[in-house]
Amino acid sequence: MSHEHRLIANNRAWAERIRAADPEFFQKLTRQQSPEFLWIGCADSRVPANEIVGLMPGELFVHRNVANVVVHTDLNCLSVIQYAVDVLGVKDIIVCGHYGCGGVIAALANSRQGLVDNWLRHVQDVMRRHEALLAPLPTEAERARRLCELNVIEQVVNVCQTTLVQSAWDRGQALTVRGWIYDIADGLLQDLSIRIGRGDDIGRAQRAALVATATATRREPR
Ligand code: CO
């Protein structure tokens, strides 16, 4: 069986399993989606958003790009945030990075990969901003893990600073932005101690997360 046919066959079996559990499942989805969460994660194939949090179709609105970066001029990401917040009314935005992120490692090593290097400049900006936290770490592996965390914290702040989230908060909309990190090595998510809602001081939340994650044991490389 060719690769493509294997995927189609998998799809038939998957849809059959879902229908067996709930014959109305797909019919209900055609009428509406009402996800409570927006997930902003890395495009990495090892971090499938719905799967790692055990959510079904219709439960998670997803944006993924290389190294889970939120850029203020990225119309694609901003449109996803706007639609999720204004139209779907999601109450939680999760920025989820992951250890072992190829984009973060490439940014750290300043290695040449092609066009994507331009995108990864944003991660290098994070790296430069937090040089004082990265430089003392003894190994490249530890710096990579730390930069994965710092990148999430920074992108959470970027989400909070978008006009979209600011406007939602101004309107009194309940909306929380948080940062998590996923470990490919054990399949577990960790909370990065950053959770920002309406009325919270973004700078203070960021500083607290930087301190909390600096002392956490999860930073130890396996
Ligand atoms: Co990645």
Low-confidence ranges of the chain (pLDDT < 50): 222
Ligand 1 centroid, distance to 222 Cα (angstroms): 18
Ligand 1 center to 158 CA (angstroms): 18
Position 175 scores a pLDDT of 98
Which of 137, 53, 40, 23 is closest to 84 using CA atoms? Answer: 40
- Which residue in the list 6, 19, 46, 129 is annotated as catalytic? 46
Is residue 44 part of the annotated active site? The answer reads yes
Q: Report the pLDDT value the prediction gives residue 179, as an integer from 0 to 100.
A: 98
Instruction: Choose among 48, 54, 57: nearest CA to 27.
Output: 57
From the list 106, 113, 114, the residue with the least C-alpha distance to 69 is: 106
Convert the pLDDT of each residue in 171-183 to its tens digit. 999 999 999 999 9
Question: What is the CA(98)–ligand 1 centre distance, in A?
Answer: 6
- 171 Cα: distance to centroid of ligand 1 (angstroms): 34
Instruction: Give, to the nearest 10 degrees, the angle between helix 75-82 and helix 163-170.
Output: 20
pLDDT at 218 (0 to 100): 52
Instruction: Verify whether residue 101 is a known catalytic residue.
Output: yes
* Secondary structure (DSSP) of 107-167: HHHT---STHHHHHHHHHHHHHHTHHHHTT-SSHHHHHHHHHHHHHHHHHHHHHHSHHHHH
